[in-house]
Structure 1
Amino acid sequence: MWWILALVLFGYIALIACGLAALFGGLDSGAISPDAVNSGGGTAGLTGLGSIPPLIYSFAASVGYVFPVLLGALATTGEFRHQTLTPTFLATPKRGRVLGAKTVALIVMGAALGVVALAASVGIGALVLGGFGIDPLLADGETWGLIGRTVLAMAVWAVIGVGLGVLVPSQVASIVIVLAFTQFIEPLLRFASTFTQITADIGKFLPGAASDALVGESFFTLASPGGAVLTSWQGGLVLLAYGLLATAAGYFISWKRDVT
């Protein structure tokens, strides 16, 4: 499944990056009239800013993070579904070692998916922005810092997927939870959290908000200006905590049970 997820991830991010880079680039260059997108002539918030390239590049994590979560969940739930854990545990009775090895393997795979997503958002986004005369900022150290943090975020998301798969061994249930939470529940919670300062302080600790804080850029943050955000290192720690807590809980709840 990993290569299918990688192909879909690349196409998905490439489509989004290409479309929005063309939109922002067209607005900035005047090729697209502001009235055509119902902006009322106000494009200062979207164009003419050096932050447009990082915003496009950040879609690799802010949109693509669901793919490493799915891969991590499939890597563990597949073991339960096909009963491959039985020979594994017979060969390696120390189950903590097995889970640790699987987590490390998925960290590598999550980082690899991050590279795939960046190949789409940075590779295609930079080409489109350059075509409209916008500096893609590929020589900027901040851009490469964002790229590195994106790879890190995608790796941590894979750990969260492993933890979820161990915590909820049913493959169908895990997939439904991942899709429902990432595509519907959390976006709604993040939007609702912007209504008051108290909910905003809580909302910044949601997994997606922590991931965006780690990366440093997010279209969601742009769409909800003034919202509370964590620093990059705080976001990374919160995101990692989700993965470790889910994995630890799954280890004691289901990983140590009989599997046959």
Structure 2
Amino acid sequence: MSLADATRSEATKQLTTSMWWILALVLFAYVGFTAAVLGFVFTGAATGSLPGDAPPVPIEGLSAVLYSAATAIGYVFPLLIGTLMVTAEFRHKTLTPTFLATPKRGLVLWAKILVGIALGVLFGVVGVLSSVIPSAGFLAANGLETDFTSSDTWALFGRMILAFVLWVLVGIGVGALVRNQVGAIVGVLVFTQFVEPVGRTAAGFVEGLTGVTRFLPGAASDALVGASLFSTAAPGMPAEDPLEWWVGGLVLLGYAIVLVLLGHLVSWRRDVT
């Protein structure tokens, strides 16, 4: 079987299940709701229309910060879809007939990577739309610039989609390395929702720790995008020293490559039944 045939088979396998579109819908709803709330609060704080003594939010760069909500809080969805692309095969034993039909296991993994890239683009577009639509609405309603005429804004959208693609590839690597679906999902959620956020928060108050935490995958993703809610959400917190956007992209790509290679060497070539 050729790579084209294996990729077509993998695409059919993924798109005939409901998991991809369920996660896409949840992504759209979750990011859209969060972006709407943040858009209301941040634009209100920037224009002084919020009741009470809300801390001021700078207007410059506000659109990029709000638009980046998709990657700042939604990156776990492409990470999960990448993980599920592999672990679901181990769980449901569908990898056995796949390897019988395509004995070259590396070819199967390459097919997953190619389909994962396509899914990453799809999830990226969904994520961008879910954060941009409500954010732009609140910006316009408060008389603030949406910055749609700026090339920097469209470059931001492109980097957000690229970040989603890389997160899917990281997920494929995690799934190939950690066969157990429950263990992989729990590990992904614990790291992304607890370990890294706590580490990045602590780095703001521990001298020298930011030199390490800025190379964590979430921080690298934020650097790639070039904007993040992470530092804006806590005005009194010391700011992170982010990587250059291209360095952040290379770091995230490096995580994906290392995890996929480790998964292929350690787990992928082992017996599956």
Q: TM-score range by the shorter chain?
A: over 0.9
Deviation track 1:49-94 (CA, whole Å, cap 9, x = no partner) reads 2311100000110110000010011110011111111111111111
**Counterpart contact for 1:27–1:34, Cα < 8 Å:** no
Aligned-CA RMSD value: 1.2
Runs of 4+ in 1 over 6 A off after TM superposition: none
Task: Choose the corresponding residue for 1:104, options 94, 114, 117.
Answer: 114
**Counterpart contact for 1:107–1:159, Cα < 8 Å:** yes
Percent identity over the alignment is 48
- Partners of 1:177 and 1:226 lie apart in 2 by 28
**Counterpart contact for 2:204–2:238, Cα < 8 Å:** no
- Partners of 1:217 and 1:196 lie apart in 2 by 23
Deviation at 1:225?
4.2
Deviation at 1:28?
3.0
Deviation at 1:114?
1.0
- Partners of 1:215 and 1:126 lie apart in 2 by 18
Residue 40 of structure 2 corresponds to residue 18 of structure 1: no
**Counterpart contact for 1:27–1:33, Cα < 8 Å:** no
Report matched runs for 1:229-240 at 5 Å: 229-240=242-253
**Counterpart contact for 1:200–1:228, Cα < 8 Å:** yes
Task: Choose the corresponding residue for 2:256, options 217, 236, 243.
Answer: 243
**Counterpart contact for 2:82–2:170, Cα < 8 Å:** yes
* 1:4 corresponds to: 22
Unmatched 5+ stretches in structure 2: 1-18
Deviation at 1:185?
0.6
TM-score relative to the length of structure 1: 0.93
Residue 179 of structure 2 corresponds to residue 161 of structure 1: no
Report matched runs for 1:162-177 at 5 Å: 162-177=172-187
Task: Choose the corresponding residue for 1:135, options 145, 149, 152.
Answer: 145
Report matched runs for 1:155-234 at 5 Å: 155-222=165-232, 223=234, 224-234=237-247
* 2:6 corresponds to: none
Residue 159 of structure 2 corresponds to residue 149 of structure 1: yes
Unmatched 5+ stretches in structure 1: none
Q: Which amino acid aligns with 1:183?
A: Q
